[in-house]
Structure 1
Amino acid sequence: MLSFVRRFNISLFKKIITLFLVVLAPIFILGIYIRNWGADTVREELSKSSTAQIEFYLNQLEDEIERLKILQYTCLNDEHLNRLAVQYSIMSPYDIVSNMRQLQARLMTIVYSSSYVENVSAHIFSIDKTVSSNRGVDEIDPKVYERIKAAAGLKGAQIIRYEDGLYLTTACPSDNSGQNSNYVIEVKLNPDVFEEDLKQFNIYPDSGSFLIDLTNSNEIAMASTGKSLQPHDILGDFAISGKSGTELGKIDNYRYYSVYAKSDYLSLLLLRYLPENLVFTPMQHFTSWIWIFILVSITVIVVFTLFMHRFINKPIKNLVAVFRQVEKGNLQISLNPEDVRSTEFAYLYTRFNKMVESLNMLIDQAYKQKILTQRAELKQLQAQIKPHFLYNSFFIINTMAQMGDENLVEFTNHLGEYYRYLTRNSTDIIPLCEEVEHARTYTSIQTMRFSKNLEVDFSPCPEEFEQYPVPRLIIQPLIENAFEHAVDKRMKDRIISISFEICQDRLHIIVEDNGKSLTDETLAELQNRLAVQSDDVEVTALLNINRRLQLQYDETSGVLLKRSSLGGLRAELVLGVRRR
């Protein structure tokens, strides 16, 4: 973990939030698992409950039909029915009427025994009569033969669906066609009762139930529906397997949940469909609670993140930011302990302020001490310049006066400007234009002194740097060094160049000469003395300027020494960002 953090440089705030999310992740996973488990449980329990309801109904219906079948078979042995079928031709009218009434009374007992029975008829083929529990005695309807033929060969309850009616037919004696039967007991089932039974399953709006005849191309035997759906639309979505089952489906925009149970004895399929959104309402409530849990968790995460950001991450970022400012050298920064409510961070802020204050005090002491040292070195440099240059100037004035040189007035004016600049001690930091003007005055004096075979190229100061603050006497000593090593030791073709270059917002002041006395060993020694900056090294003009520039500006400022393209020394002053 530590190697991962170090590798990807993850902040403390991100690590805390990541750890918090890692802790919450199992809770989220557990919540999702509970939701899915609850949904599966609800679906399974609903499937079991719905299937059990319709299976229970079909079992009751099977028992009721079985009881009616027994009553049918019992009625086949009725003595009145047998007399009418066999002795009708020799019976008196009174006996005929009496037996028919007795038979009708027997048939009515079957009707009254079950709410599923609408009518019971005894079809006596030998006398071409039908005795009905509801209508009395009629001629045999030819359609009876069709219904008897349809029942031939069927197994189980032998329920016949004929012209939207359901019939139970029992013949005696029985054959495949019913043509050789003496009489038939036929029970017509009451469709209203079946519809009422199916309605009890329609507890939701837009739900419905079907009784489907499996012996006749899955046609509807009975239906009670609140939405115009056909059973083949629903059955087309899944295959019937086993005696019962459940399935989710969709027709157009209507999503439904279907339950079915099959009775082999009745050759009927009971199909029930329900709207999915209503069926799974409890699960939807459960899902709503899961979403509430997720939203509450997200709210907790957001609140925790904001809390951590305000009370931990923000104070730490402020600390890191001010430490980076201190690394860049900004010691005028501080933190307000009242901005944080944590006593620990308030203590850290207070101690940081104390640390910066102590650093400022120590640096101020060291800075002042170094400034005093630099000023002493500047005074030493001025003291070195004054006698040496003063003596030479007096000799030049004497020579020019004796020769009646017309440049004497100009020379003395330059000399006055030069010494007035040197003796002005009001400040050590001046605009660059003044330092350049002083160097130009010095160059003019030296040009009058070495007037023969001397070429001086003095470029103008860049306008954007004219008011740039610089230490006094940083250019003139370099020009003096060029005159001393290049002009004095070369008799002809003497060249001195003073130029300015701007590179990456830094100003480079370049002084070059074409002297021949500079060896590689001497250049290397000078470069080494500038790089070492040891306090026990004798302070020369170059070292003095280099120290003052680094003290005034940043560490990349100072004096750079190279061999010039002219052949002599190239002294380059680099002025960087000024320290505050």
Structure 2
Amino acid sequence: MFKFNFYTKILSIIIVLLIPVLILYVYSNQTTTGVLREELNQSNYNQLTFFQNQVNTNIEMISSWPHLLIHDPDVASFQAIFLKDKVLNLDGINLVKRIQTKLGLQESSSNWRTGLSIYSPSLGRVVSENGAGLYDQKKLNQLIKDGWQVSKKRSYGKDQFIFSLYTLSPFSSLGNPETANTIIKVEFDSSNIQDMLDRFKGDGRKEPFYYKKGVGVIYNRTANEELSGNLISKLEKMGLHEVDNLTVKIGEESYLVHAVLSQTTGWYLIDYMPLSDMMSPIYSSNRLFYITVVGSLLVGLIGAYLLHSQVQVPILQLVQAFRRLKDGDYAVRLSVRGSHEFAFLSSQFNLMVEQIQELFEKVYVEQLHVKEARLKQLQSQINPHFFYNCFSFITSMAKLRNHEAVVAMAHNLSRYYRYTTRQERDLVPLSEEVEFVQYYLNIQQMRMPRLTFSIVMSSQASSLLIPPLVVQPLVENAVLHGIEPQAEDGIIHILTERVGSYMYLIVDDNGLGLSREAITSLTSTLDKPVEEDHGYGLWNVHQRIRLHFGEDAGLEFSLSPLGGLRAVLKWSLSTEGEHANGLIEPSPNSNIVKTEGPDGSDITSR
């Protein structure tokens, strides 16, 4: 259950004082943000409307050109000419040149790139600034419609729109263009609008474009077309009105969108900009305020801490130290600061704990001495039971004058005996232990030629340190109780294997083996006090491994794949275990597989 101590009370007061300030600021910030949005919307609407009016003014001015040209005397004379042949006379050619000059002057009166063409149904000819020629009346009739017409074409890999307006004289002939005296076409392309969009973009934050559903989009030349396309998809789902101010979210970014409909062309002028760009000053102000609040809170916390640390902290430290001491942590100490009453209590507490720790350390050292004496006793219990049999073998071979056998037995026996009698180290490399086992197996192989063995040891395993004389009893048990009682050929296989953070040394034989019940019984005796009828060898190995590597280590038994018994020596390779092992550099003969046959020959491979 949460308790209000001195420190938490002061902290609660500071927080309560800051809460009204935060609420007031949040309310003020929301109000400011709302006003700013309204002002931005109105400002953007005014800019879009002004730009839209500029575009409409240009289009309306271009729309008025045909009406001016219809009343021009030269154009009126051109529509009154009726020719029986297809060749103009000199007067007609001069008239066409004057009309072309006037068309050029009219086009140059605007800064937009436009085109004017005059069609004469009576002559079947069309005149433009660039030339004159014949035209197909049927195709022209299909193109003539009321108002501005928009067609799309591809130019340099992008869409371009052509705006065309046809004016007929008389106006009543719109439904039947063949009866018209004169047809005037004015057109311009969307590059003119793009020029204005580029100028309107100005500071680079705006992204204006024109859009008409079912027709297409006119982008500014530096527009992000992919983003604009995503925005159009959102707007089509939401629906557009004549004037719209919307906030649209695309991905993780929100955009402020403004749209104005042109009554002249029916296209929407749409402009958008990231909301974060406009709100960045407010966000900066918010960050500054929050930093100020956090700074004020920190100052309050420091003040509360200074008060809290002078009284409550020393008491809490003393209480916690007593609890740790109660739980058995005798390394606990209090920091002595200053010369006040709590410093005196801390020093006296430390003195008391030191005296208790010294007493426990003395007891612990005595326990270690007892443990080491027990380890030496266990190690000394391992004796070579076959020693006298070896001398008997030497005697027999000497009588038979088999000197090579005598020399081989003496060599292996001397190496074997040297290892057992000069073992003063607590830990030895596993490679030396396995080499000692090899001498033992060589001796047994001389006594029993039907015995074969193989040793497979990894480079990592060969460098590990283990207690001496822990592998030989396992091999001896396999020879004496597994292979020697039977008449068939005997096989012993020794290998190391790492599984996770554990190392396993496995001894397999094809001897008589044990039943599952006998294996269970044998395993259970390893953790019990030693009994004389069970012998010391395996029990000794199990206890010594556990003394060195902890409760997880030890000796295990199971059925061997070779048909006999499998003995497994297991110990941990964890950080503590590796420190205890004292890993050494691998020897050059590491990762060796060695097999010896019945004749004593060595087969060695890497």
Q: What's the TM-score once normalised by structure 1's chain length?
A: 0.47
Bigger radius of gyration: 1
Which structure has more relative contact order (CA 8 Å, sep 6+)? It is 2
